[in-house]
Amino acid sequence: MRRAAVSNALPELPNIDAGLFDRPSPERFSHAAPARHAPRFLLLYGSLRERSYSRLLTEEAARLLRAMGGETRIFDPAGLPLPDSAPDDHPKVQELRELAQWAEGMVWCSPERHGAMTGIMKAQIDWIPLSMGAVRPTQGKTLAVMQVSGGSQSFNAVNQLRVLGRWMRMLTIPNQSSVAKAFLEFDEAGRMKPSAYYERVVDVMEELMKFTLLTRDAAAYLVDRYSERRESAEQLSRRVNQRAI
């Protein structure tokens, strides 16, 4: 996107490169052509159990997103190697990374185990790189976080997921879901029973959809940073002015 024009000098900011400085304005958000396709969501869960409550909650979230007009993909972590134990071209790693690039928003849902997210959940996030060439596959994309617990309600896992979302430069929505005693919240068919917990999940998916529709067209502008523009300008200058090829 083209930056808003600024003066050639910023006398009160002598350490700023005026040519790279940006003055945000509402008009900047109207430049991008609006996307016409259904919002795309990748959903990750953190358990391999046959009756995995994080998977069941994730499937319920996917149904809600589809009902709201979204397109969903759920990644199955079975067979995903531990980070750094396999090459990047491992089929499961490639599948996960391709889905991360495809998605415009994500849902991360982990059980809480020993007061933390599971290793299965963390391994999936660790396999998504901060950069792939010149592309950051998560930057500027929306994120909703959820957790299931076997006992009383806790927020340890969702709090950790929020930290990871920030580290991955994602737009993590304010709302979240934490389902206590999850074994009581699903019927034999694996569907979530009516409850305040279920209504919270509906709220979270509705908020995720709204934030995704609001930000996806402007994601590149929202995460455009002065420091990175300056770094890119310096790299370009070195390349253009190099004496030897």
Which are the contacts of 239, defined by CB distance < 8 A and separation ≥ 6? none
Q: Across-strand partners of 72?
A: 41
In the prediction, which pLDDT does 174 show? Answer: 97
| pTM (2 d.p.) | 0.87
Residue type, 188: E
CA dist 221 and 244 (Å) reads 35
Give the integer Cα–Cα distance in Å for 208 and 204: 6
Report whether pLDDT(22) > 80: yes
Which of 161, 159, 119 lies closest to 138, judged by CA?
161
Dump pLDDT digits (tens) for 82-131: 999 999 999 999 999 999 999 999 999 999 999 999 999 999 999 998 76
214 touches 39 (CB < 8 A): no
The predicted-structure confidence for 142-197, as pLDDT tens digits, reads as follows 999 999 999 889 999 999 999 999 999 999 999 999 999 999 999 999 999 999 99
The pair of three-digit structure tokens given for residue 62, joined into one six-digit string: 């996917």
